[in-house]
Amino acid sequence: MQAIGWVLSDQQRAERLLALTGMTPDMLRNGLSDPAILGAVLDFLSNNEADLVAAASALDISPQALIAARENLT
């Protein structure tokens, strides 16, 4: 959930998430407890090293922890 908040804290990054995942704002909002939506956000971060590292730093966790969180969803 914190990763979603971080992604959405920047409008350009949020728009890129929606464009790359094909989600709408409503889909994202309504799917906050859906593992598929959470996984899509973590995939978004994992696929861009700069975002992954920046998110991990902002959330005070390691990039590996974000990747592990994604793996735990499956």
pTM: 0.88
19-32 pLDDT per residue, tens: 999 999 999 999 98
42-73 pLDDT per residue, tens: 999 999 999 999 999 999 999 999 999 998 88
Listed in sequence order, the residues at least 6 apart from 47 whose beta carbon sits closer than 8 Å to its beta carbon are none
CA distance 24 to 41: 13
Distance of CA 40 to the CA centre of its chain: 7
